[in-house]
Amino acid sequence: PQLLEEQERLIATLIEAHRKTYDASYSDFSQFRPPKRGDGSPECRNATNPFLMSLLNSDMDELPKASASGAEAAAGDELSMLPHLADLVSYSIQKVIGFAKMIPGFKELCTEDQISLLKASAIEIIILRSNESFTMEDNSWTCGSNEFKYQIGDVMQAGHKLELLEPLVKFQVNMKKLDLHEAEHVLLMAICLFSPDRPGVQDRCRVEEVQEHLTETLRAYIACRHPLSCKHMLYTKMVEKLTELRSLNEEHSKQYLQISQDAVNKEDLPPLLLEVFGNPTA
Ligand code: 6VH
């Protein structure tokens, strides 16, 4: 198979859409609420054991009232990275929307279907696009300075559980190993967006048509542009990534629900995030 002129144009459009919406200098990150990292200092450990701490530090032998500041301080401190990461995710959702709008076929869908596709795929596309900042050197997402270097521990401080973050990091490592071309990377994000089986999608046929056109373009691209030695099973491996993303998405929904309920400061979650991932208090 060879790339048709139309497929070439599609790839060029997707690459341009991605470049316009992914700023690899990460210069906007300083506008997010600042990251707060528990550094293992006494104050920090304090906050995770408020009751023990207050008993050890005073002559009282009674527990402070359960609902008193201690427990809330603990929860608040455990979620010290939430404002920053919630801002990062909210910002990224805006960029994903900008990317989607430039994909041929997206704007032609009715607004309801556009919303259903974005709501369902936002976290998956964020996970995919974040591979660009992920480095296997130290398994972190490195976005410029140390301040914007995100490690598992940082994401735990936004309320995510270690057991669920391990599959996310594994996913990132395996994605890196695929060593995708930019064309393949952007096609995968577009294919992920145009999944006809997302909840609420009305015009499944239209979505499927676009997705099939994208997958056909990906197959053709791999067949004629990817070096013979590495293209073995590449398409299959990429489709497998979409399956893994579904399960990361499901886990994220559960974790998000928990976090949004635990968050003491409801302002920690920006309105766009609440709209896309759900607002349990609404
Ligand atoms: C890219 F925790 O868009 C840009 F509250 O590449 C750069 F925030 O629950 C950097 F509420 O359940 C980048 F939903 C990095 F928002 C991406 C990273 C590093 C981009 C930090 C942690 C992230 C990760 C991708 C997904 C992950 C953002 C978290 C997603 C979230 C969340 C929130 C809420 C928050 C944590 C997770 C998870 C799984 C395991 C999927 C964003």
Please spell the DSSP secondary structure of the chain, one letter per residue: ----HHHHHHHHHHHHHHHHH--TT-GGGGGSPPP----S-HHHHHHHSHHHHHHHTSS--SPPPTTSHHHHHHHHHHTTTHHHHHHHHHHHHHHHHHHHHTSTTTTTS-HHHHHHHHHHHHHHHHHHHGGGTEETTTTEEE-SSGGGEE-HHHHHTTT--HHHHHHHHHHHHHHHHH---HHHHHHHHHHHHT-TTSTT-S-HHHHHHHHHHHHHHHHHHHHHHS-TTT-TTHHHHHHHHHHHHHHHHHHHHHHHHHHHHH-S-GGGS-HHHHHHH--TT-
State the pLDDT at residue 40: 54
pLDDT value at residue 259: 96
Burial 43-66 (b: 16+ CB within 10 A, else e): ebebbeebeebbeeeeeeeeebee
CA of 14 to the centre of ligand 1 (A): 23
Ligand 1 atom, smallest distance to 260 CA: 11
Q: Which residues contact 236 (CB under 8 A, 6 or more apart)?
A: none
Q: For ligand 1, atom 2, which residue shows the shortest CA distance?
A: 158
ipTM value > 0.95: yes
What CA–CA distances, in Å, run from 153 to 16, 42, 141, 144, 195? 34, 17, 12, 18, 32
> Measured between alpha carbons, how far is 30 from 62 in angstroms, rounded to an integer?
44
- Residue by residue, pLDDT tens for the chain (282 residues) are 689 999 999 999 999 999 999 999 999 999 999 999 976 555 555 556 667 766 777 776 766 555 434 443 444 467 999 999 999 999 999 999 999 999 999 999 999 999 999 999 999 999 999 999 999 999 999 999 999 999 999 999 999 999 999 999 999 999 999 999 999 999 999 999 999 999 999 999 999 999 999 999 999 999 999 888 777 799 999 999 999 999 999 999 999 999 999 988 989 999 999 999 999 888
The CA 55 to ligand 1 mean position distance, Å, reads: 37
**For position 52, what pLDDT does the model report?**
75
Query: Residue 54: what pLDDT?
Result: 67
Q: Which of 32, 155, 171 for a ligand 1 pocket mutation test, highest count of atoms within 8 Å of Cβ? A: 155
Please tell me the residue having the least CA distance from ligand 1 atom 14: 256
pTM here?
0.90
> Which residues, judged by CB distance below 6 Å to any ligand atom, belong to the binding site of ligand 1?
82, 85-86, 88-89, 92, 126-127, 129-130, 132-133, 141, 143, 150, 155, 158, 160, 164-165, 168, 248, 251-252, 255-256, 259, 273, 277
Which mutation among 129, 130, 147 tests ligand 1's pocket best, with the greatest number of atoms within 8 A of CB? 130
For the CA of 255, the nearest atom of ligand 1: 12
Residue 133, pLDDT score: 98
Which pLDDT score, from 0 to 100, does residue 64 have? 57
Q: How far is Cα of residue 194 from the mean position of the Cα atoms in its chain?
A: 17
Q: In what order do the strands lie in the sheet with 140-142?
A: 134-135, 140-142, 149-150
